[in-house]
Amino acid sequence: MELPGIIVLAVVWFLVTNLISWAGRTSQRPRTTPRPRQPRPTPDLLGRDPTQQEGSRLELMLREFQRALEDARREGSPVETPGPRYEQVEEGRSLEVESEARSLEKLVSRPGRREVDQDDEAEQIAARRIKAAAARDTAQSPLDHVAFDERIRQQPAEHTAVRTYTVQQLRDAMVWREILGRPVSLRGGS
């Protein structure tokens, strides 16, 4: 594009945006009668604006309230005045105890350690084991075999016997198998 074309395009863009903004401003205004203007706050005779006037009115009201409270006190009528509450009085005193500085670098008296010398005990245990091994390592005589045989035979025979069942116990087992077992129709072909 040439320079004059760019200038023409810029001017057209400027005009279109201005027309759109002008149309938006005119459409926002109501077409009804214009609102009456509110009068601008003017200072009163003392040169104060309305917010200062309101502040002075509040101040006068507080003074009147104070006078009414003082009159009520003079007449003797009970007036609740803010005083210390029970909680405030209770919280007024501290429950903390003054800290006490103490040194922890004192010598602590402990009983001395008992020294255990396991070497002496180990020697005694080893000596007992050697004596027991020497007593077992001797050759067995036929009398020792007889004594061993008698000691074994004194044990009850049922100690090593297999348990046998009575006929009644076998019948009861079959009945319980029928009760608790699978139904005959679902059992295998055996």
Q: What is the pLDDT of residues 100-124, one digit of tens each?
A: 887 778 777 888 888 877 777 888 8
pLDDT tens for residues 72-105? 888 875 555 555 555 555 556 667 778 888 777 8
pLDDT greater than 80 at residue 142: yes
CA separation for the pair 45, 67 (Å, rounded)? 28
pLDDT at 188 over 60: yes
* Residue of 35 and 169 predicted with greater confidence: 169
The 3-state secondary structure of the chain, one letter per residue: CCHHHHHHHHHHHHHHHHHHHHHHHHHHCCCCCCCCCCCCCCCCCCCCCHHHHHHHHHHHHHHHHHHHHHHHHHHCCCCCCCCCCHHHHHHHCCCCCCCCCCCCCCCCCCCCCCCCCHHHHHHHHHHHHHHHHHHHCCCCCHHHHHHHHHHHHCCCHHHCCCCCCCHHHHHHHHHHHHHHCCCHHHCCCC
Q: What is the reported pLDDT for 1? A: 53
**Contact assessment for residue 72 and residue 79, using Cβ atoms and an 8 Å cutoff:** yes
Beta carbons within 8 Å of 38's beta carbon, 6+ residues apart: none
Q: Which residue has the higher pLDDT, 159 or 6?
A: 6
Looking at residue 38, what is its pLDDT?
A: 63
Look at residue 81 in the predicted model and tell me its pLDDT: 56
164: left (phi over 0), alpha (psi -120 to 50) or beta: beta
Per-residue pLDDT at 45:
52
Q: What is the pLDDT of residue 175?
A: 94
pLDDT at 106: 78
**For the chain, percent of residues with pLDDT exceeding 70:** 73
For the question of whether the overall pTM of this predicted structure is more than 0.75, the answer is no
CB-based contacts of 122-128 (< 8 A; 24+ apart in sequence)? none
- What is the pLDDT at residue 16? 84
